[in-house]
Amino acid sequence: MKFTNKNIIVTGGSRGIGKAAAIAFADEGGNVAITFNNNKSAADETLSQLKPTGKHTAIKCDAADPIETEKMINTVLSAYDRIDVVVINAGIAITHKIAEIDYNEWQDTWKKVLGVNLIGPANTLYLSARAMMKTGGGKIVTVSSRGAFRGEPDEPAYGASKAGLNSLSQSMARALAPYNISVGVVAPGWIETDLAEPYLNGPNGEEIKNQSPLKRAGTIEEVAGAILYLASDGSEYTTGAIIDVNGASYLRS
């Protein structure tokens, strides 16, 4: 199997895309550490679904907290000795329409979203890359969004954070290549997750699905497949690439 004896971290691995990726890595023989923020029951449920041939664990970690992030990386290193793959997936989105909120709420939202979606990933990437430098290399995959390119008028901090994540990932792809560390990005569009369900099943659900010529949203398994490709041996020359998983709902030139 592709990830036999590989040690993998999936941040935000208890639900949605992170959960699908964790299951897929475990199915391919990996040892999987997932992180979660508050929902321990969801993390435990995900752990119960991971193929028991590997050594798996769930670690509580606030993605925006640099101290908790460092503790999480050290916990994984203590358990597994090395880190082979890191999937930086944890993220949040908060609606903050510029015409409807006050200045204090505007500032607070930007601070929260950038903390989880950009500063947190930068810290996770730094710590995991430094660990990989000591063991001969590894793979880092970040989970971005179609919104980084198309724009998010109701959630501008989310769109900006994902655009920043793309730039961070590509900068680090260049910086870390000499250390045999690849950095790739997956940018999903609308995906069938718990968080997307109210939108996909709401009054605008059909319009959302029809943004793709496939007339549907993507599945978490389809995104997980792209993540596993970037994390696989043999994908090294795709370092710095951004793989769009949006059903041709938005095409970049």
Residue 55 and residue 78: Cα distance in Å, rounded?
A: 13
The residue with tokens 């460092």 is 70
What is the CA 67 to chain-centroid distance, rounded?
A: 20
Residues 6+ apart with CB under 8 A from 116: 63, 64, 90, 91, 92, 161
User: H helices of the chain, where?
Assistant: 16-27, 40-48, 66-80, 103-114, 120-133, 147-150, 156-176, 197-200, 205-209, 220-231
Residue 173 and residue 41: Cα distance in Å, rounded?
A: 35
Residue 177 and residue 182: Cα distance in Å, rounded?
A: 6
Residue 91 and residue 123: Cα distance in Å, rounded?
A: 14
Q: Report CA dihedral (28, 33, 38, 44) to the nearest 10 degrees.
A: 60
| Annotation marks residue 158 as catalytic | yes
- The catalytically annotated residue of 103, 158, 179, 237 is 158
Residues 6+ apart with CB under 8 A from 157: 94, 96, 109, 110, 113, 114
Q: Which residues are catalytic?
A: 158
